[in-house]
Structure 1
Amino acid sequence: MALPKEYVNQMRELLGEEAEDFLASYAEPKKTAIRLNGLKIESTGFGEKEAVDKPSAGQSFVAGRDPVPWAAGAYYTDKTERPGKHPYYYAGLYYIQEPSAMLPAELLDPQPGQRVLDLCAAPGGKSTQLAAKLRGTGLLVTNDLATERTKALAKNIERAGIGCAVVTNESPAKLAAAFGATFDRVLVDAPCSGEGMFRKDEDMVRQWDADAPARYAAMQDEIMLEAAKMVAPGGRLAYSTCTFSPVENEGTIARFLAAHPDFEIVATESPAAWGFAPGRPEWLTPEEAAALGPDRTARLADTIRLWPHRVRGEGHFAALLERAAPSGMAVSGASPESEPAGAAAAESRKAGGKTGGASFKDPKPGKRTTAVRRGAEAAGRGRSKGFDDRTGGESDTIARYEAFLRESLPGWKPPGTIRIKGDHVYAVSEPAGSMQGLRLVREGWLLGLSTRHRFEPSQALAMGLKPHQAALSLQLAGESEDAIRYLKGETLQPEPAKVTGLNGEPADKRGWTLVCLDGCPLGWGRWDGATLKNELLPGWRQV
């Protein structure tokens, strides 16, 4: 790889004797990985203890893979693999993510029931990671300023089956004005010069210039200024970049801390065995160090650097900050209401001894924030047929929606508040503040829409359900022929005995059917007793 000469000289000056090992890493293949979706693995066998006699389909899929040590349920993939083509990807069972990029969400470690903001979220990898930790509770606001990128963000939120999410397309300043200091956890994965992307995308090499770090640092300062306004007292803010430039990393944190005396760096365990390296306070400019002061400058060593010659990843910088709570203010972690979800998360991490699910702990835990707030179980953005087929009456929409629930999802209760917009039905989580005037890509979980003749459930609803919640379901296996045919949009003719009811017995009715892959929903079909009409939307099909 032909690296810019000025960049090479800068890295040699910074790293000294270590520079040649760093530069040699650019001759190696990029590192890739998948991260299992903690919201879905319980029903698929991915999170079960290994069965010696007959491993589950999930266990077979991850068997033999090396775990990413700093992320729960994450595994390295081989360069010859195409994980984006496997049916499990379409079922939202995993997210394809660069290994280093998994670190910030692990550091932030939101608890069930908390309010979380991912400020620069597209395409959504860190948001899906944060949502899995919320276990379907609380609230996740996931935002990106680039309109086109929010389309991929919303699609990934839906595929992951996230229900407690609001997707916005706004500037940090507009969000700060709307929400105020209401979030327990805020993640800023900042736009940066992208030096850690060089192996992944050679266009980043061609676009780099010597002035890029300073330009991005100015942008990062503005973003962090607004992000700070949204962190609740006692709350936490994680900052990360995929670049190596000191001015965008230690420098950004130093400038932020100098301007915000109520924030401090949280020290976390950074196992040397994983290749983690400390931040470098000596790389600050004299002006930055003077403004921060010697004691707080020294704390920059508690930030984390991932170098591509030390870890199996492309490289990252991450810092965890905590906002002080006023004296006497009562702050706490998740309340007992969230313990069942927390237990599920613990069970998922229990497999971590096998899956590499590391849990980052504070050597000296700081104060935790606010109790559990009501949330949702699944989420989405989707567009069913008949989108513009207006009924002209909200009462008709409600009646058709309720009839669908009685027939197809008996006993299931949607989370949050039901909101009708035209013919569309949403389940909306409790907002963190006023969303009036914000550009909302998705204000909640789109459950479906009412046409002239019936209620049509959305793809987003399917992705957030559990198989046992549907009156009719069809289970498909792994990479079976029927699974591939369904993903391509074809009609299926399964054996009638394979379409089952709530009790798992062969069904004696017809109607909307939840099509599942090894226990995880793929989408809808309509069963007539002999044929399953494929209702998978074109944008969700395998191509």
Structure 2
Amino acid sequence: MELPKEYLVRMQELLGEEYPEYLDSFSKARVTALRTNTRKISPEELKARMPFLEESVPWAPEGFYFSGGKTKDSAQVTPAKHPYYFAGLYYLQEASAMSPGAMLPVEPGDRVLDLCGAPGGKATHLGARLAGTGVLFANDISASRAQAMVKNLELFGIENSYVTAETPEKLAQSFPSYFDKILVDAPCSGEGMFRRESAMVKDWVQKGPSYYQPVQREILTSAVSMLRPGGMLLYSTCTFSREEDEDNVAWLLRTFPELTVLPLPGNRGFSEGFLPGTGRIWPQRARGEGHFLALLQKEGGGNRGKAVEETQDWTGKQRSGRTFAEAAPDFAPLFGSAWQDKPVSEEKDSLYLLPEGAQKRAGIRYLRTGLFLGSRKNGRFTPSPALALALQKEDFSNRVDFSGSDGRVIRYLKGETVACEGVPSSGEDGWTLVLVDGFPLGWAKRSKDTLKNKYHPGWRWQ
């Protein structure tokens, strides 16, 4: 790979005697990793089920390195082509990219914002850590990129999230002092990804740190205004540039004296940044690409998990106040009483389960509002793929549970009609939850021993 001369000079000045080791890192094999969806399975159980997983990622215990391997039945494994991936048990993610989601101190009940969230890797991490409590706002300025977040959050079974596609400035107008925790994984010159994505080099030549620094400062300004007193903001990039990293943090401290830098929690394999309290991941020192992190806190106390003032409410043609059982009387009886009694909101013919206590603001472009339960047409309810992935095995009475080694699982994921003879099952004919080793995959219509496939066409095994 040919690196720009100007970039090499900058890196030599940054690293000094360690510069040759950095250059040598380009000749080493690329590291691969995945992150457990702790909303569905523990890291220990996932590793037991997929023994080719190696040691944990130091800064993210939910993550594992892997280099390929075999399952217990000696089948060759490709993690992106494994039924567990389609069940949302893990997310394929570069190891260093796990650090922001791990380092932001999310607590149950928090209001969390991932401001530059697409394609959703860090948003799924934050959502899993909320464990079904509080609310997650996952935003990206690009609606097409934000659509990828919708899919990834639905695969992960994150039911308490909103997905928006807005500028940070517009969000800030609607959510002043609203969030307990904010992640700004900012667009950057991408120097830390050169080893992994050579196309980033061309972007660096065309733009570089001087282009991105003012963009980052505009985003950070909006983020600070949305952070409640006492709240925490984690700023991260995948670049080595001091202009985009420590210089931006120093600028934040000067511009917003109410902010202070907090030490990153624990010894997680980071190197100290050039500003006390900040952290860096260097590819010549750790198994990962380049990354920078800084955790800041806004002074003062605040109402954690509660808005300062709720002045805006639901807008548009939306009704709420009915339970799931009342809104879908032909389908809800297949659930336990806890699900039947959940309050739902209705937008036209669609039903949504909304995060508790969070409100939709006027003028914001929402791509998803809470958990999309399904839609009604001609008096009948059709469940959504997202609903299936948000369920536990015991939540739905009609189910069929395939073994992960059963070839019919792959055929189901490809959209084919499959037989379910000899497979553990419960309930009656009709809408049926299809599982793999106890984890939901999607829906089918069962007639005796035949499953008419209702798996989401956009998610199918290719």
TM-score by length of structure 1 reads 0.77
Counterparts of 1:248-287 in structure 2 under 5 Å?
Answer: 248-269=244-265, 271=267, 275-280=269-274
Map of 1:319 onto structure 2: 294
* Structure 2 Cα separation of the partners of residues 496 and 177 of structure 1: 57
Q: Is the 8 A contact 1:6 1:210 kept in 2?
A: no
Determine what percentage of the aligned residue pairs are the same residue: 43
Q: Is the 8 A contact 1:415 1:427 kept in 2?
A: no
- Give 5+ residue unaligned stretches, structure 1: 49-56, 281-299, 332-368, 374-393, 501-506
- 1:217 maps onto 2:193 in alignment: no
**For residue 542 of structure 1, what is the amino acid of its counterpart?**
W
Q: Is the 8 A contact 1:179 1:434 kept in 2?
A: no
- 1:402 maps onto 2:329 in alignment: yes
**Structure 1 residues 117 and 208, CA gap change in structure 2 (3 angstroms):** same
RMSD: 2.2
Q: CA deviation at 1:434?
A: 5.0
Greater relative contact order, per chain length (Cα 8 Å cut-off, separation 6+): 1
**Structure 1 residues 72 and 175, CA gap change in structure 2 (3 angstroms):** same
**Structure 1 residues 416 and 130, CA gap change in structure 2 (3 angstroms):** farther
Map of 1:389 onto structure 2: none
**For residue 60 of structure 1, what is the amino acid of its counterpart?**
R
Matched residue count: 441
Q: CA deviation at 1:211?
A: 5.2
**Structure 1 residues 402 and 47, CA gap change in structure 2 (3 angstroms):** farther
User: 1:333-363: CA deviations, max 9, x gaps?
Assistant: xxxxxxxxxxxxxxxxxxxxxxxxxxxxxxx
Counterparts of 1:49-448 in structure 2 under 5 Å?
Answer: 59-62=48-51, 65-78=54-67, 82-209=78-205, 212-269=208-265, 271=267, 275-280=269-274, 300-325=275-300, 329=301, 370=304, 401-406=328-333, 408-413=334-339, 417-430=343-356, 432=358, 435-448=361-374
Q: Secondary structure at the match of 2:419?
A: coil
Q: Secondary structure at the match of 2:339?
A: coil
Q: Is the 8 A contact 2:52 2:66 kept in 1?
A: no
**For residue 121 of structure 2, what is the amino acid of its counterpart?**
G
Q: CA deviation at 1:82?
A: 3.2
Give the stretch that moved more between structures: 421-430 or 166-175.
421-430
* Structure 2 Cα separation of the partners of residues 277 and 140 of structure 1: 30
Pick one of 495, 514, 532 that aligns with 2:433.
514
Pick one of 412, 416, 438 that aligns with 1:486.
412
Counterparts of 1:443-454 in structure 2 under 5 Å?
Answer: 443-454=369-380
* Structure 2 Cα separation of the partners of residues 414 and 176 of structure 1: 36
Give the stretch that moved more between structures: 29-38 or 491-500.
491-500
Q: Is the 8 A contact 1:235 1:322 kept in 2?
A: yes
* Structure 1 Cα separation of the partners of residues 457 and 437 of structure 2: 22
* Structure 2 Cα separation of the partners of residues 142 and 269 of structure 1: 24
Q: CA deviation at 1:493?
A: 1.2
* Structure 2 Cα separation of the partners of residues 210 and 486 of structure 1: 46
TM-score by length of structure 2 reads 0.91
Deviating 4+ runs (over 6 angstroms): none
* Structure 2 Cα separation of the partners of residues 497 and 19 of structure 1: 58
Give the stretch that moved more between structures: 446-455 or 163-172.
446-455
